[in-house]
Amino acid sequence: MMSKKRLQGFRAAFIHYAGVAHHSDEIAGQFRYLPDGLLLIADGKVVSLTPWDDGNNVPEGCEFTDYQGRLILPGFIDTHIHFPQTEMIAAYGEQLLEWLEKYTFPVESKYGDSEYASAMAAFFIRQLFSHGTTTALVFASVHPQSVNALFLEAQKYAMRIIAGKVMMDRHVPEALLEDPAESARQTRQLIERWHGKGRLGYAITPRFVPTSSPALLEQAGVLRREYPDVWMQTHLSENIREIEWVSELFPEHDNYLGVYDHYQLTGKRSVFAHCIHLQDKEWTCLQQTGSSVAFCPSSNLFLGSGLFKLSAAKARKIPVGIGTDVGAGTSFSLLRTLGDAYKVQQLQSYKLNACEAFYHATLGGAHALDLDSVIGNFAPGKEADFIVVDLTATPLQKLRCSGSTDILDKLFVLMTLGDERNITHTWVNGECVWTQGETEENDHAIFA
């Protein structure tokens, strides 16, 4: 006898995007707003989203939650973030290469300790939830313990998360140096243990070209071919000095992306963070290989790296997601990050409207991760990851929205004045995993 499905219903206002799009007008055409709607989910999957006044009653036996006065939207998708950099967020005064040496590498050295990694993983996941992020593509440290700790914590919540052990074998402190063969062996073990287990996915993670020998990149390419359904994540063209260094290390290649492409690390499910200073050939390569980009505006501003050319990516229909890039990014909040994205584009005379911005943080991010078939909107059958938002969480927001009836105007206020205070509930796989005002013992235990 088949067990009865658990049915849940939610009443609120809703926004989402009906399908994948690229240009601003196409995205606007996919935008859907329901001022008063009913979302039904069964066993963690969307059944339907319909207008409340369609004559549909809440089904008998349905667990009903009334969020009237709130806005529900798909959970945010962070396409680039560093788990071990949580504790060094807001580190002063350096650009990329010096920042790595002074702050990042010393902190990441601590993550070989399983107990420490577990405590920080719990803190990290709670930060994601409290800021409305339900899916993330995550860098761990070089230590397998850091990956195990992160996946074990995400697994508690049936969270859809993709992560990988950093691979690097040169130009880093001795404590973080790896042998390419051993790095590949550990990565292979992690893939076999975690990839595809529940909602978990693995990402092959060479940190970036300057910390990768040809032998290490070759191993990463072998793994990519051996496991074609895993992800690959790395950094690309973030900093001018970094690009010059790559040219010195690999003079036989025309450009930075050409190194990754040579080792067959481009393609679908390959996500390149930053991509600020690309040559035309590199844009073309991203397009032709079906690779994706993580736009990290807060980090790019904080490290003085430069301005991402969103219009160039859109012209070539390259999938773009948004990354907080904690800890160079200074907040876990994708709302704050979208506010910075607007400013970065304004400096280039590109007007990033709210409709397009929220697309990149939801369904667009899912598309960049090749997950748009399972998350990112409220289409029937999608996994039920969503957040509940108070559009007027602060007196200033309330004042600003008081005279407006336009949802896009209110969304623009949300992305420019909003932050974690606007997130009242976070739901993952049909379960509420965070409610505003919650306190967790493990949020503070690491400081004891």
Q: Is the pLDDT of residue 90 over 70?
A: yes
pLDDT at 5: 83
Amino acid code (one letter) for 51: P
pLDDT at 57: 74
pLDDT tens sequence across 108-159: 999 999 999 999 999 999 999 999 999 999 999 999 999 999 999 999 999 9
What are the tokens at 309? 């050319």
Sheet of 31-42: strand order equals 45-51, 31-42, 7-17, 63-74, 386-389, 423-428, 431-435
pLDDT tens sequence across 298-354: 999 999 999 999 999 999 999 999 999 999 999 999 999 999 999 999 999 999 999
Give 440's pLDDT tier (boundaries 50, 70, 90): low
pLDDT at 145: 98
pLDDT at 54: 81
**Phi/psi of residue 168, each to 5°?**
-160, 140
pLDDT tens sequence across 24-81: 999 999 999 999 999 999 999 999 999 998 866 788 899 999 999 999 999 999 999 9
What are the tokens at 129? 């939830």
pLDDT tens sequence across 155-188: 999 999 999 999 999 999 999 999 999 999 999 9
* Averaged pLDDT, 366-394: 98
Q: Report d(CA 310, CA 300) in Å as an integer.
A: 13
Give 438's pLDDT tier (boundaries 50, 70, 90): confident
Report the residue count for the chain. 448
pLDDT at 255: 98
pLDDT at 403: 86
Give 448's pLDDT tier (boundaries 50, 70, 90): very low
Q: Report d(CA 444, CA 112) in Å as an integer.
A: 21
**Cβ contact 217:223 at 8 Å:** no
Q: Report d(CA 266, CA 284) in Å as an integer.
A: 12
Domains observed in the chain = 7-74+376-438 (2.30.40.10), 76-369 (3.20.20.140)
Give 434's pLDDT tier (boundaries 50, 70, 90): very high
pLDDT tens sequence across 267-298: 999 999 999 999 999 999 999 999 999 999 99
pLDDT at 414: 98
Give 446's pLDDT tier (boundaries 50, 70, 90): low
Chain-centre distance for alpha carbon 244: 28
pLDDT at 325: 98
Q: Report d(CA 429, CA 415) in Å as an integer.
A: 25
Q: Residues with Cβ < 8 Å from 137, sequence gap 6 or more?
A: 78, 79, 80, 81, 162, 163, 203, 231, 233, 271, 294, 321, 323, 369
Pairing between β-strand 231-236 and β-strand 200-206 as defined by DSSP bridges: parallel
Give 256's pLDDT tier (boundaries 50, 70, 90): very high
Please tell me which residue, 208 or 93, carries the higher pLDDT value: 208
Where do we find the tokens 């929220």?
358
